[in-house]
Structure 1
Amino acid sequence: MTTKFPKDFIWGTATSSYQIEGAVNEGGRGETIWDHFCKTTSKIANADNGDTACNHYHRYKEDIQLMKNLNIKSYRFSICWSRILPEGTGKVNPIGLQFYRSIIETLIENDIEPIITLYHWELPQVLQEKGGWENPKIINDFMNYANVIFNEFGDVVKKWITLNEPMVFTYLGYLKGIHAPGIADEISGAKAVHHALLAHGETVKLFRKLYPSEGQIGITLNLAPMYPSEDTIKAQEAAHISDGFTNRMFLDPILKGTYPEDILVIIKQQIQEPSVTNNFTIEKDLKTISQPIDFIGINYYSAGFVKEGKQKYEVEPVEMDAPKTDMGWPVTPEGIYDLLIRIKNDYGNIPLYITENGAAYKDNINEKGEIEDMERIEYLKSHLLMCQKAIADGVNLKGYYLWSFLDNFEWIDGYTKRFGIVYVDFKSQKRLPKKSAYFYKNVIDQNGLSLL
């Protein structure tokens, strides 16, 4: 017995530029905040960096042929801003444009639809030195960059994503200092959130001006249901706060034109700086942020479980007794169903894509030269079944992009975590499809899952 997905459902896979490209000093590319962060911090596992990564810059044709062999229908990838504008603004680098033009043409030749993410965390370092996402000037800088890309590739690329996971690059990059650029400051984090969402809205307006009747544009958010770890009022309140910072802080302004009031109360108490916090209620800004979009991309890996912290408004994560991936994240497929249903109920039936979903496990090559990653297969199967259940219950889910196509540079975890359905030997750069790759090919071939 095979459970079928809708006939027009899109089956894809995803990567990001810094995680796979390498060639950081080739083709006129400028320095990014992740290049700088890897060189200047001790926060990366094994002092790894993305200098070579998967060498996709030189091996993209081989990688796209692998996608074709697996019957991948669509490929979501990001563009490195610094390959196009090495100084962040100003002179355009034709070598960078040609690199991405070649990728797009190769994809189309192989009947694989490209979907481009404009920003997957790689801010040009020169712009960071001017304040990065804290500086309101970044909004125009991002629009100018987007304008170059739209004008270059808008004739052939029809699906666009403005930002990938603004919560991560603002919270972890500017509020907590865990990711690049490594700033740990509440005011910096608040500014970065608002400016990132404004840049998204202005870029959507630009896209509509350039392509009023064709193409689609949206944003990708990392979302997760937040469950109380125990059946108490305090745990439920903690879950609501956690949901506010994780989900509503981004969904509400984009889809409702307002930040969540309960979270603004907390932010204003933590940041007693009206010149910053008042920005969250500026009507003109909220109208820009809530420009109509064609879809929301959802990156989902795991649900959260929380309880009340020791301080007022503090929330503490709770480790639940459940199977975990190599990232230490609990395997919670029911969370993706709850999330999809919740978005439909709370925000209307906007088209949705799962733009990332997958799992890291310790993959080992067996004596037959194969990687039998059965845990990953079970993870994917359980989540796909929940996606299908959500569709049956009326969710407007249009496609699924598995993360990741290749094992790659996993940010502060360096090369210690493998998410790929294709194994990469980072020394030899040899590619080896895992059993999960063939599982996914079978899902695509059948447009569904075999339950036998």
Structure 2
Amino acid sequence: MAYDAVAPGSSPQTDPFTPSADSVLWRKDFLLGAATASYQIEGAVDEDGRLPSIWDTFSATPGKVLAGDTGAVACDHYHRWEGDLDLLTRLNFEAYRLSIAWPRVMDEAGRPNQKGLDFYKRLLGRLKDKGLQTFVTLYHWDLPQHLEDRGGWLNRETVYRFADYADLMSRQLAGHVDAWTTLNEPWCSAFLGYGNGHHAPGLANVRYATQAMHHLLLAHGQATQVLRTNDPASIKGIVANVGRGTPASSSEADRRAAHLFEVQHNAWILDPLLKGEYPADLWALWPGAEPLVLAGDMQTIAAPLDFLGINYYFRTNVKSDGAHGFVDVPLPDVERTQMGWEVNPDGLRDLLTGFHGTFANLPPIYITENGMASDDQVRDGRVDDTQRISFLKRHLAAVDQAVKQGVDVRGYFVWSLLDNFEWAFGYERRFGVVHVDYGTQQRTVKRSGELIAQFIDARSKRD
């Protein structure tokens, strides 16, 4: 299954998805879905007992989010969820990945907030009525602010509060969820939130980042045990965002830099989960930043997974910083998205095959996020997002190549169903296959969404 790459300055192809006859995409057991996250789409931050989250606080702080945007309204999904689920049906998606807003379902004392719980019960019930598989993420970055006030992920107590949250949700929603995901992208929560301050809660200390990561992974391990007890029929996993690093030259120093890039982005998370230990080279990169690890922690973190979610967006070219780290060296004349990220589908294939060769116990994989931002505009009632169409084709082709090299990939979720609040970039960057007019909340299916719908329909009719 091969698609033409897009040369700088050229026009991406816009023809329908036409994978080769032997592509994994034609398999009816290969799941095709769309993904969203609570704070990015729900809005209604002050309604029905929802408490403030760290992202409410962060986005309300001047200078933290582009244009001063916040998630207060977002896509107003809290009120428009029925129409948004109809879009999933219209686009023929077979699965939906969503997240639960922790501040919406529990009060400060840990008691359930029934109105918040009822919202997710209605939503998941409608998804099951529509025949969609449900992938539910417990934590997509919206930590209750009252927990951050007590130290957040730097405080080991948050691990136990997360286990309480997982217990409540899995007891309340057992039978409504096909797949539970404990955490989305702990790298972003730990490094961007506590290491460089780009994300909430906005702290910037590498030692904070490593301790936050340890508590996040420990919370994952404890929650996984709870989920297995309360909802044994579902599958359980975690979602990691991974990065492909390549050296700026063939020098030993630059090759080492690329290795350290992938240690920091990938092995920092995957080694504890799949090997029960942190990579030794991480402490060569960050000497003296080892977290406090108590007896039994690593065994809890390394609890067996039913699946691993992989989020992939871009490749990073790096060189040695002359000490014990790396610096980015952006390549000239390569295709980039509105985020400035390099489009590099081969990086996804290479990472998948690399993980397959590295981890003997690698669980089945779902690509839980893949997509791109562009400055999409509605013209004459249409959105012709030609670059996104080409992007998705080439990344699906990369997944197909990885499967043919032995990697057990069982599904793919496009990021995202809707244009939404893109964290520190606010509403400027559009990732959806459905355009959202934030002034009117009008939804317009983009050309990429139309082509996805056509392909899934064609697949369903294939012998």
| TM-score grouping bracket, smaller chain normalisation | over 0.9
* Corresponding residue SS for 1:27: coil
Separation in structure 2 between the aligned mates of residue 335 and residue 80 of structure 1, nearest angstrom = 32
In structure 1, runs of 5+ residues without a counterpart are: 272-276
- 1:59 maps to 80
TM-superposed CA distance for 1:184, in Å, is 1.0
Is residue 424 of structure 2 the alignment partner of residue 412 of structure 1? yes
TM-superposed CA distance for 1:24, in Å, is 0.5
- 1:177 maps to 197
TM-superposed CA distance for 1:26, in Å, is 0.6
CA contact (8 A) 1:344 1:350 kept: no
TM-superposed CA distance for 1:177, in Å, is 1.0
TM-superposed CA distance for 1:216, in Å, is 0.5
Separation in structure 1 between the aligned mates of residue 241 and residue 422 of structure 2, nearest angstrom = 16
Separation in structure 2 between the aligned mates of residue 148 and residue 326 of structure 1, nearest angstrom = 39
What are the equivalent positions in structure 2 for 1:122-137 lying under 5 Å apart?
Answer: 122-137=142-157
1:403-423 CA distance string (max 9 Å, x none): 000000000100000000000
Count of residues in Structure 1 that have an aligned counterpart in Structure 2:
438
Candidates 364, 367, 389, aligned match of 1:377? 389
What are the equivalent positions in structure 2 for 1:256-295 lying under 5 Å apart?
Answer: 256-267=275-286, 269-271=287-289, 277=290, 279-280=292-293, 282=294, 284-295=296-307
Separation in structure 2 between the aligned mates of residue 332 and residue 315 of structure 1, nearest angstrom = 20
Separation in structure 2 between the aligned mates of residue 202 and residue 65 of structure 1, nearest angstrom = 35
Q: Which moved more, 1:415-424 or 1:178-187?
A: 178-187
Q: Which moved more, 1:346-355 or 1:439-448?
A: 439-448
Separation in structure 1 between the aligned mates of residue 131 and residue 190 of structure 2, nearest angstrom = 36
Separation in structure 1 between the aligned mates of residue 120 and residue 230 of structure 2, nearest angstrom = 20
In structure 2, runs of 5+ residues without a counterpart are: 1-17
Is residue 438 of structure 2 the alignment partner of residue 438 of structure 1? no
Sequence identity of aligned pairs in percent?
40
- 2:37 maps to 16
- Give the root-mean-square deviation of aligned CA atoms: 1.5
CA contact (8 A) 2:53 2:142 kept: yes
Is residue 245 of structure 2 the alignment partner of residue 226 of structure 1? yes
Is residue 223 of structure 2 the alignment partner of residue 203 of structure 1? yes
What are the equivalent positions in structure 2 for 1:53-452 lying under 5 Å apart?
Answer: 53-87=74-108, 89-212=109-232, 214-267=233-286, 269-271=287-289, 277=290, 279-280=292-293, 282=294, 284-310=296-322, 312-321=323-332, 322-348=334-360, 349-366=362-379, 368-447=380-459
Separation in structure 1 between the aligned mates of residue 318 and residue 353 of structure 2, nearest angstrom = 21
One-letter amino acid of the counterpart of residue 220, structure 1? V
1:243-293 CA distance string (max 9 Å, x none): 1110001000001111101113443x243xxxxx3635x551111100001
* Corresponding residue SS for 2:292: helix
Normalised to the residue count of structure 2, the TM-score between the two structures is 0.92
TM-superposed CA distance for 1:392, in Å, is 1.4
Normalised to the residue count of structure 1, the TM-score between the two structures is 0.94
One-letter amino acid of the counterpart of residue 317, structure 1? D
TM-superposed CA distance for 1:22, in Å, is 0.4
Separation in structure 2 between the aligned mates of residue 112 and residue 381 of structure 1, nearest angstrom = 23
CA contact (8 A) 1:86 1:124 kept: no
Are the structure 2 counterparts of residues 394 and 153 from structure 1 closer, same or farther at C-alpha, using a change threshold of 3 Å? Answer: same
CA contact (8 A) 2:138 2:183 kept: yes
1:105-154 CA distance string (max 9 Å, x none): 11111111111000000000000000000000011000000100000011
TM-superposed CA distance for 1:2, in Å, is 4.0
